[in-house]
Amino acid sequence: MGLFDKLFKPSPQVAEPLKSPLETERPAVQSPPAGTGEEARDAPLSAQATAPVDPPAADAAAQKKLGLFERFKQGLKKTTQLLQTDVRDLFKNEGRLVDDVFLEDLRAILIKTDMGPKAAGQTIDEVHKAYRARVVHLEDVLKTVKAKLKELMAQDEAPIRLAAQKPTVIMVAGVNGSGKTTSIAKLAQLFRSQGMQVVLGAGDTFRAAAVEQLTIWAGRLGAEIVRGDPGSDPASVAHRAVASAIKSGADVCILDTAGRLQTQQNLMQELTKIQRVISKLIPEAPHEVLLVLDATGGQNGISQARGFTEAVKCTGIVLAKIDGTAKGGVIVPIRQQFGLPVKYIGIGEKADDLALFQPDAFVEAMFSGMLS
């Protein structure tokens, strides 16, 4: 019997996969035709349609939302298994007295998910205030814990916003092995599924494997790719990719970057140079700077985020490989310390396995099945 079951034993109580992250809850937004106004081009990719929703459409939307929850559940399976085992072990048939021992045991369980001592402490404080010296059951504590975590993770949905004039330039950063190249492919699939023309810039020129991998993805997805010679200047590749996107009238240009460790000062200078070079072609570019973090790295993601945000102005985070770890709680300290929105999470290895981050659904998925 796990730690969570010793403290609490619950009293007896009586979808198809989404085709793309943009289709999870809202109607797909088509690429605006040439000549549409700035309002249309600047709308978020997940913007809702303005037409009234009839009952069948509402039912379909509900099914899609359920599908997203199921995908989160699958992606957070390891985190959920850890919580189910340990949290249930905290409770006895007649409930559990909320004392110092109980609170410390619960704190240790939450920290195991890599949410960090600050978030765990804030959550424990809520449980303490609500139930101190009372005998409680699992469902009581779960309600309080989930409410606090939703509060700590709260953010508006943060899809990629299209620039007023195409192309929208997206720069993607992250250390080697973080899932950066695969995340770029998933982003490209997201845009291609909306009928948009995409240009990829293979700027990780120091890793031949990354360039080849991105080239293969480009072929599969029907995206144009701009490459450079091995070891060539990444900023040059970025410049040519943006220039190509402008010339071809592409909707989106996604730029890969070198992924050496964030402690290397030359890497950070290189990222800054890329921003400076492409801004000569489009002053507002890059319109988005996404940092890809590997969820399996847990708290190391905090160090990575700090290093990259100090070098370039990141606009959001893509949390990759959430399906491969029990450390799904790492989203909490990332949100707390950097204030960056988590835009998407990677929940599998397929091109469609990228989901728009929704805090409430994420938290519910973390604790799913706890009372069954």
- How confident is the model over 330-370, as pLDDT tens digits? 888 888 877 789 999 888 788 888 988 888 988 888 887 76
Q: Is the pLDDT of residue 8 over 80?
A: no
Residues of 342-365 as b/e, b for ≥16 C-beta within 10 angstroms?
bbbbbbbeebbbbbbbbbebbbbb
Full DSSP string of 86-120: HHHBT-BTT-EE-SHHHHHHHHHHHHHTT-HHHHH
What is the rounded end-to-end Cα distance, in angstroms, of the chain? 16
CA dihedral 355, 358, 364, 366 (to 10 degrees): 50
Residues 33-72 pLDDT 10s: 333 333 333 334 433 333 333 334 444 444 444 466 676 6
Look at 283 and 13; give whichever has higher pLDDT: 283
Tell me what percent of the chain is helix, strand and coil, each rounded to the nearest 5: 50, 15, 40
Helix, strand or coil for residue 196? coil
The lowest-confidence range among 276-280, 286-290, 348-352 is 348-352
Q: Which of 17, 144, 150 is nearest to 75 (CA)?
A: 17
What percent of the chain lies above the pLDDT cut of 90? Answer: 41
- DSSP H helices, 222-262, are 234-248
Rounded Cα distance between 185 and 318, Å, is 13
Rounded Cα distance between 226 and 215, Å, is 9
What percent of the chain lies above the pLDDT cut of 70? Answer: 73
Whole-number mean pLDDT of the chain?
A: 78
pLDDT of 291 reads 92
pLDDT of 156 reads 82
pLDDT of 59 reads 46
What is the DSSP pairing of strand 354-356 with strand 342-346? antiparallel
Neighbour tally for 94: CB within 10 Å: 10
Q: Is the pLDDT of residue 139 over 80?
A: yes
- Which token pair is 10? 């619950």
Average pLDDT over residues 203-218: 92
pLDDT of 41 reads 35
- Note whether 102 and 286 are within 8 A (CB): no
pLDDT of 366 reads 81
What is the DSSP pairing of strand 198-201 with strand 224-226? parallel
> Residue 108: left (phi > 0), alpha (psi -120 to 50), or beta?
alpha
Q: Is the pLDDT of residue 186 over 50?
A: yes
Residue positions counted in the chain:
372
Question: Residue 356 forms beta bridges with which residues?
Answer: 344
- Angle at which helices 265-278 and 300-311 pack, to 10 degrees? 50
Helix, strand or coil for residue 370? coil
Look at 189 and 305; give whichever has higher pLDDT: 189
pLDDT of 326 reads 56
pLDDT of 93 reads 66
Q: Is the pLDDT of residue 197 over 70?
A: yes
DSSP class of residue 18 equals P
Look at 328 and 120; give whichever has higher pLDDT: 120
Cis peptide bond upstream of 167, omega within 30: yes
Look at 312 and 22; give whichever has higher pLDDT: 312
pLDDT of 306 reads 76
Give the type of residue at 70.
E
Q: Is the pLDDT of residue 195 over 90?
A: yes
Rounded Cα distance between 79 and 93, Å, is 25
